[in-house]
């Protein structure tokens, strides 16, 4: 079971598009690409609305991870649905990925370029060369955080 964020609705090929989505994504997608929005009826999608209870859980998770201010109402609904279904959340949004980590649910990227699937990545401190034991290297460039030893920013490199 997986919940797709709007980037997946926008970028994935139609035959690959199967999963759960929230109704409010339809309008969001229509604003981004009306052509794409019209194609959605041919996709294997389950449209739903998260419960008020799940929305409250999602807000709590996002507040805990510090991401609440950066998430749109649609993002929160997507997160709430993933929590409700205990589904894998498909997203490239690092805030949503962060929330998944805090909530203990799985996430997977929307855009896999093939390279990141074949290669394993690690974070290496640009100052002292220490290697982070962070396993989930999927954040955006420049947002990998700083070395716990010397405070210099991490760089990403192939294992």
Q: Give residues in contact with Zn ion (CB under 5 A).
A: 125, 127-128, 130, 147, 149-150, 152
CA 69 – CA 63 distance, rounded (Å): 8
Instruction: Note whether 5 and 78 are within 8 A (CB).
Output: yes
Q: Which residues contact 92 (CB under 8 A, 6 or more apart)?
A: 5, 7, 109, 110, 111, 138
CB of 125 to Zn ion, least distance (A): 3
- Residue 101 or 130 with smaller CB distance to Zn ion: 130
CB of 122 to Zn ion, least distance (A): 14
Q: Which residues contact 152 (CB under 8 A, 6 or more apart)?
A: 125, 126, 127, 128, 146
CB of 149 to Zn ion, least distance (A): 4
Q: Give the angle 3-8-9 at the CA atoms, nearest 5°.
A: 95
Q: Which residues contact 17 (CB under 8 A, 6 or more apart)?
A: 4, 8, 9, 40, 43, 44, 45
- Residue 8 or 125 with smaller CB distance to Zn ion: 125
CB of 150 to Zn ion, least distance (A): 3
Tokens linked to 30? 């229509």
- Residue 43 or 137 with smaller CB distance to Zn ion: 137
CB of 143 to Zn ion, least distance (A): 17
- Residue 48 or 152 with smaller CB distance to Zn ion: 152
- Residue 81 or 123 with smaller CB distance to Zn ion: 123
């Amino acid at each position: 079971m997986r919940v797709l964020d709007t980037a997946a609705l926008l970028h994935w090929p139609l035959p690959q598009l199967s999963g759960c989505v929230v109704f409010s994504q339809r309008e969001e997608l229509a604003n981004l690409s009306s052509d794409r929005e019209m194609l959605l009826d041919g996709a294997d999608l389950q449209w739903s609305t998260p419960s008020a209870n799940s929305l409250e859980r999602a807000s709590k998770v996002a507040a805990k991870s510090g991401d609440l201010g950066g998430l749109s109402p649609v993002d929160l609904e997507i997160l709430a649905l993933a929590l409700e279904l205990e589904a894998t959340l498909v997203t490239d949004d690092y805030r949503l990925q962060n929330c998944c980590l805090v909530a203990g649910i799985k996430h997977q990227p929307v855009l896999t370029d093939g390279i990141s699937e074949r290669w394993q990545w690690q974070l290496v401190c640009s100052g002292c060369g220490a290697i982070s034991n962070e396993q989930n290297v999927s954040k955006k460039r420049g947002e990998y955080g700083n070395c716990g030893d010397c405070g210099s920013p991490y760089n990403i490199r192939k294992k």
